[in-house]
Structure 1
Amino acid sequence: MKKDYYEVLGVSKSADAAEIKKAYRKKAIEYHPDKNPGDKQAEENFKTAAEAYEVLSDPQKRQQYDQFGHNAFNGAGGFGGGHHMNMDDIFSQFGDIFGSAFGGGFGGGFGGGQQRRAKGSNLRIKVKMTLDEIVNGVEKKVKVKRKVQAKGVTYKTCPMCNGQGQVMRVTNTILGRMQSASTCPQCQGIGQIIDHKPKDADAFGMIAEDETVSIKIPAGVSDGMQLKVANKGNDAPGNGIPGDLIVAIEEVEHEFLKREGENLHYDLYISIPEAVLGISKDIDAVNGKVRIKLEEGIQSGKILRLKGKGVPSLNSYGSGDLLVHVNVWTPRELTKEQKQFFEKALNDDSFAPSPEKTEKSFFEKVKDMFS
């Protein structure tokens, strides 16, 4: 079982961004590969700390994690979190956090002296999902236009930085000679420059191509939630790391069912005779029709709860319920005979309202529904 991200960094759930960043820097320096050469456990701790920081430093991912735990990131390629990060990902994304702790900024290897590996830019798309797909989970195939390295393109080591992606500068100050590192202006930190490229490639040796990507979307996602498909964004020049494909979920509204978290709501309208005599009704649920029985004398506003007929929990804690709201429909137009019937019933004690003491008020029903 994966350890809680707050415990990994040693912070409380109320920690602010500055506390989280400080705690991550401390853990990263403690478990850094340069300080622990050949120590596999230290390497795993280093990666885990980076995963925790990637989630907790992002407000949206942190909110999802607080709500669903690790299961919020169980989608294709990592559900918005850093579960498939390697060392290159970590140094590429968070290298600046280490500052000068290891003698200069990081590139993409296990220390400051190795070649920097650039990371390609992310792509973002929206995927529409019906309620049926959300309840059952689905695998969708989407076509994306990615920038990929052109065939025949070759690179060579940048002569300005010797492939480091950074240039060192020494400045004489009143305190003595100060050394600083900055991104190489010639290769933009990649460490390589174009040696040869085809005519149809851009200045970085890339071309745009369509690719069909399969995305496994787990049951229980919600509108606005994002998935990350690792390495399906734009390629990076040279020996770089591809970016990611960020998939935003857009929920299509159902014709009859209204979603509220993991619960579904259905408005059932019945006639006065049906309410008086009782009846069995077939209603629309997500996975087909469900038959329910309405007892004689059922009241308008009655809520019937069908256990487990709602939306599955993203963290595998079961499913929500289907709440059926009974509404007795009052006709607006009546025949002369129908009016005479109800006029006679006006003084009939059987039709006089007589709620039982156990009968809950509308406001009590609403309170129960949301509790």
Structure 2
Amino acid sequence: MSKRDYYEILEVSKNASAEEIKKAYRKKAIQFHPDKNQGNKDAEEKFKEAAEAYEVLSNDEKRRRYDQFGHAGVGGASGSGGFGGGMSMEDIFSHFGDIFGGSFGGFGGFGGFGSSRGQRVNKGSNLRVKVTLTLQEIANGVEKKIKVKKYVSCHHCNGTGADKGSSFSDCHTCRGTGQVTRISNTILGQMQTTSSCPTCSGEGRIITKKCAECNGEGLLRQDEVVTINIPAGVEEGMQLSVSGRGNAARRGGINGDLLVLIQEEKHPELIRDGSDLIYNLTLSIPDAILGAPVEIPTVEGKVKVKIEAGTQPGKILRLKGKGLPEVNGYHRGDLLVRINVYIPKDLTKEEIRSVEKLKDSASFVPKEGEEMNFFSRMKNMFD
């Protein structure tokens, strides 16, 4: 099933400002909030869909890639399910809860989806890898298996950080809230600040006995093979996101993302220009004058093309549809064959005499209708 347009989801124009996008998302989130639509799966999906749209359109770089390449430009074509579709309600509120200010029934505490203790949701860090693709892989799309060294949940404690048989207790510093509040006196009066608890790192609880395997971190570092589906038409410098395939979170939570930076391997004959390809074809003088069959390389293999007699240097032949697909899949570029004519520098005496004959014979401009006779005379001289 194809994804809906993010602007359509939030009901804003493509020229909408950041503030308009934020207001539109808040409106949608309130409309489909799970506390107001308990048991309604359709409302839950629309709530996640709106979060996914806002996550992209509220980020200038992601919005630019989305405007240029569509869903594939922000990882929507990789099968990862995107942001909203791959995260829980708790994850969404941990990222965007601030725009509600905790003032709308249950938004501050996630309703029935969060924790009344105020514990934060851990998120693993993102991983960044580079993938180099050939022109043929770019033309057809490709599945790549990449070995990455990453943090994974500890198998001994299942990522909790606690030894088997051990338990957790409320943090004595924050009393289980995960936050500490400080009041300081300033020239403007008393100022209250709230920050993450330094004792429990905002988790609200501490381990009575740490796991010996991971030393209480809940993480181990190891190699993992990740399969990435790269869509056709990607470009050098484009970044794809594979949701949830980055580092695991410390002591549980949600995994980070795997960010894939695209690099292109230079083709020995073809030059890329967007979705078009360019090939420089060099003809000899006789072939340019008389015409000749030639082979042109494409990403699928060589094709034969007939060069017409009298082809001029600088002429461009267009092979329709022999270029690259656009990343959104709606259009395929062309192969442009740029004609060059080779002028030799070192000639034998016999070749010089032949050229002088040609010069004498071609000193006039052919009249209209005499072009074929002219090229026939040229052919006889070379024969």
Q: Same fold (TM over 0.5)?
A: yes
Tell me the distance in 2 between the aligned counterparts of 1:354 and 1:33.
83
Query: Is 1:233 matched up with 2:246?
Result: yes
Report SS of the residue matched to 1:190: coil
TM (normalized to structure 2)?
A: 0.81
State the partner residue of 2:313.
300
Within the candidate set 105, 130, 136, 1:126 is matched to 130
Tell me the distance in 2 between the aligned counterparts of 1:206 and 1:66.
37
Amino acid at match of 1:98: F
The answer for unaligned runs of 5 or more in structure 1 is: 357-371
Change (3 A) 1:165 1:112: same
Change (3 A) 1:137 1:236: same
Query: How far off its partner does 1:159 sit?
Result: 2.6
Within the candidate set 326, 336, 346, 1:323 is matched to 336
Query: Is 1:87 matched up with 2:99?
Result: no
Tell me the distance in 2 between the aligned counterparts of 1:304 and 1:36.
60
Query: How far off its partner does 1:245 sit?
Result: 0.9
Amino acid at match of 1:101: S
Tell me the distance in 2 between the aligned counterparts of 1:79 and 1:38.
22
Query: How far off its partner does 1:142 sit?
Result: 0.8
Range with bigger deviation, 219-228 or 72-81: 72-81
Report SS of the residue matched to 1:201: coil
Task: Determine if contact 1:124/1:245 at 8 Å carries over to the other structure.
Answer: yes
Report SS of the residue matched to 1:94: helix
Task: Determine if contact 1:128/1:251 at 8 Å carries over to the other structure.
Answer: yes
Query: How far off its partner does 1:182 sit?
Result: 4.3
Change (3 A) 1:87 1:305: same
The answer for unaligned runs of 5 or more in structure 2 is: 370-383
Name the count of aligned residue pairs.
353
Tell me the distance in 2 between the aligned counterparts of 1:95 and 1:157.
27
Amino acid at match of 2:35: D
Report SS of the residue matched to 1:311: coil
Range with bigger deviation, 338-347 or 195-204: 195-204
The runs of 4+ residues in structure 1 deviating greater than 6 Å are: 168-172, 177-180, 353-356
State the partner residue of 2:67.
66
Tell me the distance in 2 between the aligned counterparts of 1:202 and 1:329.
71
State the partner residue of 1:113.
116
Query: How far off its partner does 1:222 sit?
Result: 0.9
Query: How far off its partner does 1:320 sit?
Result: 1.0
Change (3 A) 1:104 1:76: closer
State the partner residue of 2:268.
255
Tell me the distance in 2 between the aligned counterparts of 1:306 and 1:225.
27
Tell me the distance in 1 between the aligned counterparts of 2:367 and 2:184.
91
Query: How far off its partner does 1:57 sit?
Result: 1.5
Tell me the distance in 2 between the aligned counterparts of 1:281 and 1:84.
52
The aligned runs of 1:131-142 (5 Å cut-off) are: 131-142=135-146
Query: How far off its partner does 1:7 sit?
Result: 2.6
TM (normalized to structure 1)?
A: 0.83
Change (3 A) 1:293 1:43: same
Report SS of the residue matched to 2:313: coil
Change (3 A) 1:60 1:135: same
What is the root-mean-square deviation in Å for CA atoms of aligned residues? 3.2
The aligned runs of 1:210-229 (5 Å cut-off) are: 210-229=223-242
Tell me the distance in 2 between the aligned counterparts of 1:252 and 1:108.
50
Task: Determine if contact 1:197/1:205 at 8 Å carries over to the other structure.
Answer: no
Tell me the distance in 2 between the aligned counterparts of 1:250 and 1:63.
19
Tell me the distance in 2 between the aligned counterparts of 1:159 and 1:297.
87
Cα deviations across residues 302-360 of structure 1 (Å, max 9, x unaligned)?
1111111111122221421111111111112111222222223323237758999xxxx
State the partner residue of 1:21.
22
Query: How far off its partner does 1:21 sit?
Result: 2.3
Report SS of the residue matched to 2:318: strand
State the partner residue of 2:292.
279
Within the candidate set 325, 341, 347, 1:334 is matched to 347
Task: Determine if contact 1:266/1:325 at 8 Å carries over to the other structure.
Answer: yes
Tell me the distance in 1 between the aligned counterparts of 2:263 and 2:333.
20
Query: How far off its partner does 1:148 sit?
Result: 1.8
Cα deviations across residues 46-81 of structure 1 (Å, max 9, x unaligned)?
111111111111222212221233344343343876
Query: How far off its partner does 1:168 sit?
Result: 6.8
Task: Determine if contact 2:218/2:252 at 8 Å carries over to the other structure.
Answer: no
Query: Is 1:159 matched up with 2:179?
Result: no
